[in-house]
Structure 1
């Protein structure tokens, strides 16, 4: 693992209330604090579907010191699930990158080879997000922001429109279950996330997690305050890079984020690089479904913001959620991405899904796994450590179903066979 916290200066948080779209970030900066010691990780918390961490899966305190980690290398990926690459004009890593991972060659000029494609989630961050946020607040929440981007996004990024709102009942039910237990989003955040972590604490937790997955020194870690998402896995200057948002790295949330970014995106990305469908031509040849479906019916920014008021009081937090849903768009009255469909599909078929097989072929959807099985390179692929005990893993899925009040019979009616 190579750590890169950047060269930016971190100021003290202002005391005045935020007035712009992303001013919440300045209010939450944790990096100048030492912070209290970490609590044990064994506390059981009921979380919504994207954050549910059953007691048996919550990480236990590690006894092995960080300095004694095994430094062995494993396979290297070319692209990650969540992003593409950052070229030489993109946001550069500012720390020492160390030696390349296995199989990574240096180019004749001495640098790392890099794709010309921009990192998706970095490119999807608007350059005028604060200015448009100010306009939105000044309009008394009636203006739909018009975003600008440093690079034009490929039309393929936003062209998919196969998803629907058929699971809106489940989405509202999950949110209302959280409000019933915690009262407000702010109470939920404080109770389930606990305190923001310092940079030192983040480094320690990330390092221990990478040791579990056997990928120490394969991934560069950047600590940033300039992300719309909590974290993003990308390839920057030829190196797999995990950018962690300092303003969202909370005590009980960080490891769950690592399960997603490293255990899902990085490992699946490495597996995907071995497959005949690792590029656009291969995906077309095998008829694979899009990785990021979008909503067919438009949902205005202002309508989404107002609808979220039922669940989140803080206007800045609501704006952040809107920005995440609408990133990549210029006109924010257009369609946005849909994620709930996928997790509910997996939960609905949790008794029959072959989870290691779902991970081994790389970046493929649940619906495509069976017909790809004869064509995939499945030997020596990497599976997250959480799936080593499948009986236990399936128990945690049952816990997630119960925590989020998901009805098996109702999902059965909504989901195809």
Structure 2
């Protein structure tokens, strides 16, 4: 049985401190003997052997998903950010201090969290749980009826926060960054998703599963850029490090990767946590190459958000757990009258301006700018001399009500069968040129 710690109430939000997190609240790939193996590795050099919460079959299934596959699409960008930060700050301690401010204790952090909940009108809508044995800095979690039963009002939300030195966000500005990530992004999108018509039938509306790689990347990418809004230094160093480490794990064992990352991060506790999250799902974490690439979603999603920030309707993106390319599909379906938005997103243009600055600092070019550059630099091809021919095309007079013909657009999503409960309307105009 999990020992219960202190219990207090701030506002009407219940706050608890637990010595250990309950087994049922841990992810499938979370080890249940982390502290023991960490001590053996750091103090005695013994290679770790993890016991995971999930069964062997479930762990293997999780490691075979697309979310867990290690990707290399953004490896150059991630490495470039790491090198840039190393040249500018020297080591990670200076960067963390500059970005997130001086250390604070749990009581101060709890006060910041409670104020955040009060200011956003969600006081009492979730529990705040502090624990020392989390394998992450924070995590939003909900429990209740499965989505297919369409009872979102019965969900109960919990915000888990780590209260040890491993939590680099337990700092004056860092705790605000962490709450923008967990509450300002994950909680609000979870909550808003429950108000939408697709909540219990995503497939019927042609939307991806929330567990798909695309959905996870946008969810975590949006949370990542929101994390840096209140940071004093806006380098995407942490997500870039997670992405880079996942790539390098394909060539290195647990111990090799741990020592290799010392180039970018001196803190042994942070390094341990990074390598642990990548390697713990392998049959033999100490010797096997590769690992779980789920943590790459933070950087990959952030890059996609920043590259498309000029065309994203962020208010619509907050209507639920949807992807960027699904926004046109839900534009007329989404209920906007009841969604909650974090304060930093109330002024969408000011928010977009901050993201532009973040993209510039991290050398991430906008796709909008790239397209504009191509248009201005492209030169039409011409044939030389008498080889040039002129063609004339006659177009018949079209009715006034008929719109101009457009080239067919390729859908970014696979067509799926529409639920019989969903009514769709379509008009087709056909033109015949003479």
TM-score bracket relative to the smaller structure: 0.5 to 0.7
**1:411, CA displacement in angstroms?**
9.3
Whether 2:129 is the aligned partner of 1:222: answer yes
Q: How many residues align?
A: 308
Whether 2:205 is the aligned partner of 1:288: answer no
Alignment map for 1:168-247 (pairs within 5 Å): 168-235=75-142, 239-247=156-164
The alpha-carbon distance between structure 1 residues 409 and 379, as it changes in their structure 2 partners (threshold 3 A), is closer
**1:226, CA displacement in angstroms?**
1.5
Quote the Cα distance in structure 1 between the aligned partners of 2:260 and 2:292.
16
Structure with the larger RCO, 1 or 2 (CA within 8 Å, 6+ apart)? 1
- Cα offsets for 1:213-254 (capped at 9, x unmatched): 210111111122121111111125863111111122111110
Residue 313 (structure 2) aligns with = 354
Residue 389 (structure 1) aligns with = 347
**8 Å contact kept, 1:185–1:311:** yes
The alpha-carbon distance between structure 1 residues 326 and 274, as it changes in their structure 2 partners (threshold 3 A), is farther
The alpha-carbon distance between structure 1 residues 132 and 309, as it changes in their structure 2 partners (threshold 3 A), is same
Residue 265 (structure 1) aligns with = 186
TM-score, structure 2 as length reference: 0.61
**8 Å contact kept, 2:258–2:275:** yes
The alpha-carbon distance between structure 1 residues 190 and 6, as it changes in their structure 2 partners (threshold 3 A), is farther
Whether 2:272 is the aligned partner of 1:309: answer no
The alpha-carbon distance between structure 1 residues 135 and 199, as it changes in their structure 2 partners (threshold 3 A), is closer
Quote the Cα distance in structure 2 between the aligned partners of 1:312 and 1:214.
38
**8 Å contact kept, 1:213–1:263:** no
- Aligned residue for 1:309, secondary structure, equals helix
Q: Determine which of 34, 42, 48 is the counterpart of 1:129.
A: 34
- Cα offsets for 1:133-174 (capped at 9, x unmatched): 455458969x5x442223334766443327721111111122
- Extract unaligned runs of 5+ from structure 2: 18-22, 145-154, 218-242, 372-409, 413-434
RMSD: 3.8
Quote the Cα distance in structure 1 between the aligned partners of 2:6 and 2:63.
32
Return the index of the structure with the highest Cα Rg. Answer: 2
Quote the Cα distance in structure 2 between the aligned partners of 1:127 and 1:411.
47
Quote the Cα distance in structure 2 between the aligned partners of 1:202 and 1:240.
19
**1:399, CA displacement in angstroms?**
1.8
**1:351, CA displacement in angstroms?**
0.7
The alpha-carbon distance between structure 1 residues 184 and 147, as it changes in their structure 2 partners (threshold 3 A), is same
**1:255, CA displacement in angstroms?**
0.5
Alignment map for 1:133-148 (pairs within 5 Å): 133-134=38-39, 136-137=41-42, 143=47, 145-148=48-51
- Extract unaligned runs of 5+ from structure 1: 10-65, 74-91, 96-116
Whether 2:320 is the aligned partner of 1:371: answer no
The alpha-carbon distance between structure 1 residues 199 and 139, as it changes in their structure 2 partners (threshold 3 A), is closer
Quote the Cα distance in structure 1 between the aligned partners of 2:304 and 2:72.
14
**1:381, CA displacement in angstroms?**
1.4
- Aligned residue for 1:232, secondary structure, equals strand
Residue 151 (structure 1) aligns with = 54
Alignment map for 1:51-70 (pairs within 5 Å): none
Alignment map for 1:94-105 (pairs within 5 Å): none
- Aligned residue for 1:7, secondary structure, equals strand
**8 Å contact kept, 1:195–1:251:** yes
**8 Å contact kept, 2:6–2:16:** no
- Cα offsets for 1:6-36 (capped at 9, x unmatched): 5179xxxxxxxxxxxxxxxxxxxxxxxxxxx
Quote the Cα distance in structure 1 between the aligned partners of 2:337 and 2:368.
37
